[in-house]
Structure 1
Amino acid sequence: MDIPASPEGGLQKFYYDFAKAFQTPHVPDNSITQLRIMLAFVVEKDGSFSDIKVLRDLGFGDGAEAIRVLQLMPRWTSSLLEGKPVRSQFTFPITIKVR
């Protein structure tokens, strides 16, 4: 049986903790009400994160902040393939309200 990697406490808790730790950078354009960031990363066999990349951001330092926060988050439970831990790739969309 294949089991995908997952954060301790589930995705809702992970999103909540991520948003709580995220420090919104200064956004000079008042018309921007939310930041949309797309990260890609690998969950290693031990649940740690590696190969973290920003696929999309608005360029106000929001991508760098998202990487910083992800690196602070607790390890995930790794993916299992045929009962053995394996590396797995994730694409992680993030939306943060600015105002």
Structure 2
Amino acid sequence: MELKKNPRLDLRRWSSTLTNLGLVVSIALVLVAFEWKAYEDFKIKDFSGNSEIWDIPDVPITIQTPPPPPIIPIELIIKPDNEEIDKKTELIIDIDFEEEKPVIDVTLEGPPTVEVPDEINDFVEVQASFKGGMDAWYAYLKKNLIYPSQARRMGIEGSVIVRFVVNTDGTIQDVEVLRSIGGGCDEIAMKVIANSPAWNPGIIKDRPVRSRMTIPIRFRLD
């Protein structure tokens, strides 16, 4: 025998409707909770009319004076009356006021001469040069110029521009580097110039003068 069920008693027919209704109610409750505003019943205090609270008393500026130094009592040494006191020795000053020495009048002939130190000339008629010429200079560099190990490891090469002053006697002074390449090459170049033998000084009007020289010292890896 076939079983038949009354459609009115089927509970599943309202399941989708009840589900949607529950969702709508839940969303409505969430929206109401977010939009709900609560106001506390209190009164904001107003301090505008009470000026006594904001009055700041004037504090006088006090200057503290340092305490006076302590008074050290003077110690009095009382000696007996029978003790002899050393008499003061008289100073004998021997000054001869009788002899009158004549005052020598000094006369200046012309204006006084002002000694001017030797001027360093950047341009001269005959340029200062290494004794023996360029061949001797290259031989001196080949013998005394040492390639720094740091620059060799780093692969540094190039020319160091060195400026120095040649005095009238051919000596070297005021050695400085104008262009550096680093790696210890600058110090080696300055040392080679400073320790070089005497040069031939620069000439102006057939007279040796102090002159300034600028030369490159080249470092090149083999």
Q: TM-score range by the shorter chain?
A: 0.7 to 0.9
Q: CA deviation at 1:21?
A: 0.4
Q: CA deviation at 1:77?
A: 0.9
Q: TM-score, normalised by structure 2?
A: 0.41
Kept after mapping to 2: 8 A contact 1:18/1:70: no
Q: Supply the distance in 1 between the matched residues of 2:143 and 2:180 (Cα, whole angstroms).
A: 19
Q: Supply the distance in 2 between the matched residues of 1:71 and 1:19 (Cα, whole angstroms).
A: 16
1:51-91 Cα distance to aligned partner (Å, 9 max, x none):
11011121111111111111221110111111111011111
Instruction: Say yes or no: does 1:69 pair with 2:202.
Output: no
1:6-63 Cα distance to aligned partner (Å, 9 max, x none):
1111023212312320111122324x4x331110011111111111101112111111
The one-letter code of the counterpart of 2:183 is F
Gaps of 5+ in 2: 1-124
Q: How many residues align?
A: 96
Which shows bigger deviation, 8-17 or 62-71?
A: 8-17
The 4+ residue runs of structure 1 with deviation greater than 4 A are none
Q: Supply the distance in 2 between the matched residues of 1:44 and 1:95 (Cα, whole angstroms).
A: 24
Q: Map 1:7-26; keep pairs closer than 5 Å.
A: 7-26=130-149
Could you tell me which residue of structure 1 aligns to residue 213 of structure 2? Answer: 90
* Structure that is richer in strand per residue: 1
- Identify which of structures 1 and 2 has the higher relative contact order when contacts are C-alpha pairs closer than 8 Å and 6+ apart: 1
Kept after mapping to 1: 8 A contact 2:177/2:186: yes
CA RMSD of aligned residues (A): 1.5
Kept after mapping to 2: 8 A contact 1:35/1:98: no
Kept after mapping to 2: 8 A contact 1:35/1:57: no
Could you tell me which residue of structure 2 aligns to residue 29 of structure 1? Answer: 154
Q: CA deviation at 1:98?
A: 2.2
1:67 aligns to what SS in structure 2? helix
